[in-house]
Amino acid sequence: MIEKKDVTITPLGLQRRLHIYLPDDYYQSKETYPVMYMFDGHNLFYDEDATYGKSWGLKEFLDQYDKKFIVVGLECNHEGNQRIVEFSPYTYSTHYWGMIKGKGAELMEWIVYELKPMIDSAYRTMPFRECTGIGGSSMGGLMALYAVIKYNRFFSKAACLSSAIFAGKDQLLHDLHNTKINADTRVYLSLGKKEANSNYLHQQRLYDNMVFSNYFKDIGATSMLNVIEDGKHDESSWEKENKIYFDFLWK
C-alpha cells in the first residue's frame, strides 16, 4: 500500500510530499521492516503520479518480492530548476546549467536528523544502519552516492542509478577520501549505453562510475557497476533494474 504525507523540510522552509510504501499486511502484522529512502518519490510507484506518465513500477515489484520493506519516497521540488538545486550537495558550474548553488547538503542533513527519526517513530522500522539504504536516479542517484559516503554511519546501502556524478565529482571524491567507509557498505552503480548523446559523453560517465566503484572495492566495501546495453535515462529503464539492485543490496 502507498501512504502519502506532507512534511516540512525545515532548513529550506518548504512543504514536500512523502510517498511511503508499506507491505500490504503492515497493519495486520507486528513485524519490523528494513527501510529504503528514495528520491523522486512521485516517480516510484504509480504512473499517474509520475512526471512523465511512467513510474518505476516499484509497488508492483515489492508486492511480489520475497523480502518485505518500507520505502520512503521524497517528492522533488517541481519549480524551475529547484530539483537540480536541492539534489546538488555542492556548488558548481556547468556549461548547460550555469552556476548551481546546491542545497543538497542541507536536504540530506534534514533527511538524516529529522525525517529518519520521524519515520522510525511513526512506523515499525528496523532503525539500524545495517537495515537502512538509500537510492535514486540521475540527480537522485548523485544524492544517494553522497549520502552513503557522507552519512555512512546511517546508510549501509545505496542504489545509484544513472547518477549525475559530474555535478560535483571532485568534491565527492574529496569527501570519499576523507570519510571512514564501513566494510559492510554495498553500493550499486549503473548507467545505460543509450543515455548519452555521444560516445565521448558515455565514456566519460562510464569512467566516473568506474572511479567510484573501484574505490569502494579498494577500501574493502562491496560495489557493483551495471552497464546496461539498451539502458536509457528514463523510468522504463530504471524499472528493469529493480530486482537487480534490490538483490545486490539486500541478499
Q: Where are the domains of the chain?
A: 2-250
Q: Report which of 186, 172, 26, 152 is spatially closest to residue 90, judged by C-alpha positions.
A: 172
Nearest to 223 by CA among 166, 170, 144: 144
Residues 117-130, mean pLDDT to the nearest whole number:
99
125-177 pLDDT per residue, tens: 999 999 999 999 999 999 999 999 999 999 999 999 999 999 989 999 999 99
Res. 71: pLDDT tops 80? yes
Average pLDDT over residues 11-18: 98
pLDDT of residue 117: 99
Average pLDDT, the chain: 97
Tens of pLDDT, residues 183-206 = 999 999 999 999 988 998 999 999
pLDDT digits (tens, 9 = 90+) for 20-29: 999 999 999 9
Mean pLDDT of 49-68: 98
Q: What is the pLDDT of residue 119?
A: 99
CATH hierarchy code of domain 2-250: 3.40.50.1820
Measured between alpha carbons, how far is 83 from 104 in angstroms, rounded to an integer? 10
Task: Check residue 94 and give its pLDDT.
Answer: 83
- Measured in Å, how far apart are the chain's first and last C-alpha atoms? 23
pLDDT at 168: 87
Is the alpha carbon torsion for 185, 183, 151, 116 positive or negative?
positive
Pairing of strands 98-101, 132-137: unpaired
Q: What is the pLDDT of residues 237-248, one digit of tens each?
A: 999 999 999 999
Q: State residue 97's pLDDT score.
A: 84
Measured distance CA(78)–CA(161) in Å, rounded: 20
For residue 38, the surrounding DSSP H or E stretch is strand 35-39
Among residues of the chain, what percentage have pLDDT more than 70? 100
* Three-state SS at 74: strand
For residue 96, pLDDT beyond 80: no
158: closest CA among 176, 172, 146, 144? Answer: 144
> What does pTM read for this prediction?
0.97
